[in-house]
Every structure is written in structure tokens, then in C-alpha cells.
Amino acid sequence: MCEHEQKYCPRCRNAFECKVGSILLCQCSTVALSQEQRDYVAARYADCLCAACLIEMKAEHHRQLFKEKLNSISTLHFRKPE
């Protein structure tokens, strides 16, 4: 029998239905995440997030990576002369 559970997203506090018993029908399966993105979310939240927050966390991770790359490039090009 499929297990469905009413949960509250720990990020936005909105209710959603978790379908862990039929994961392919769960709302979270609509958001494609790389393993790196999953690790990023898991490091911040211990429980399931709603699909909207997963999308936002995916974008946040992308922005963080971009910022890190930009910082590494800018330190190479804009070093103060010694």
C-alpha cells in the first residue's frame, strides 16, 4: 500500500503531500537535481522540501557556485601589486 503523508516544508512552512510510498508521483520528483545540488539541500535541511523550495534551493546553489567562480577569477585579475 502506498504511503502518503501530509508534511510542512521546513523552509517555507507550506503544507504538501509527501508520497514516499510512490516516489515517482511525489511533488519532489518534478524537480531535477544533480547529486551536488541534493547534497547542498541536505546540508541545510534534514527533511523533505516542497517543490517550490527545491526549485529555489537549486537556483541558490547555482548563484553560490557562480559567485565562488567570480571571486576566484577576480582575485586572479585584480590582485594588488606587491
Q: How does pLDDT run across 36-57, given as a tens digit for each residue?
A: 999 999 999 999 999 999 999 9
Q: What's the grid cell of residue 7?
A: 508534511
What backbone phi and psi angles, to 5 degrees, belong to 24? -70, -15
pTM: 0.80
Question: Among candidates 56, 17, 44, which has minimal Cα distance to 3?
Answer: 17
- Ranges under pLDDT 70 in the chain: 1-3, 75-82
